[in-house]
Amino acid sequence: MRPLDGIQVVTLEHAIAAPFCTRQLADLGARVIKVERPGVGDFARAYDERVRGLASHFVWTNRSKESLTLDVKHPEAAAILAKLLADADVLVQNLAPGAAERLGLSHDSLHESCPRLIVCDISGYGADGPYRDKKAYDLLIQSESGFLSVTGSPEEPAKAGCSIADIAAGMYAFTNILAALMERSKTGRGCRIDVSMLESMVEWMCYPLYYAFDGATPPQIEWQRDIFAVD
């Protein structure tokens, strides 16, 4: 037995953040059904061919899942998705801003027919605010969150080598879904989870914020190097 045996997850996902989240669920025993576009599937499939012809990012974030192709804009797609969601415990999506609402896959649209369903939306900037309709990518979020100010050097800021904004959002989505499943076991009701890449990275930047609290000097890259210097 694994902790999430018997839990079914339907996911409309691509790239890294949502797939990384749902891979954690799959590793714990959940049945994860990944809905992909016909012909090309998740565009992360085309990142490279390093793993025996498969993309390294795709292999990393999609093990243990099932996959089906579906044109979600086809007139018959809504009925197919409804059938999948009728048996699902969790819906995860990181489609383009506004796409889930247009497809009738928002928490508000699904709550009446699927009151136990947990809906997790992952985006660049969240469901409200002036940037809600903007797309995002990892380097942009690393920059906007201030993360680049504590990496590299003062002369040459540097991004983290891996997609940490995506990873951060995926992990916060994963932990919140686990908490929502625990809550549902007590209340019998599902809920909506809204995770953004920017908020996830801003949380990680709270240490430099508190280090510079009340007018103190912000953390310097040279100061960090001194801590880890070896004679």
Tokens 């025993």 -> residue: 29
In angstroms, rounded to a whole number, what is the distance separating the alpha carbons of residues 135 and 53? 29
166, 194, 214, 226: the active-site residue: 166
**In the annotation, is 166 catalytic?**
yes
Q: Dump the DSSP string for 108-163.
A: HHHTTT-TT-EEEEEESS-SSSTTTT----HHHHHHHTTGGGGSS-SSS----SS-
Report d(CA 202, CA 142) in Å as an integer: 9
Give exposure, 90-125, as e/b (b: 16+ Cβ within 10 Å).
Answer: bbbbbbebeebeebebbbeebbeebeebbbbbbbbb
Give Cα separations from 13 to 43, 65, 67, 91, 175 (angstroms).
Answer: 10, 12, 11, 10, 18
DSSP 51: B
SS3 of residue 211 by DSSP: helix
Q: Are 35 and 82 in contact (CB under 8 A)?
A: no
Q: Which residues are catalytic?
A: 166
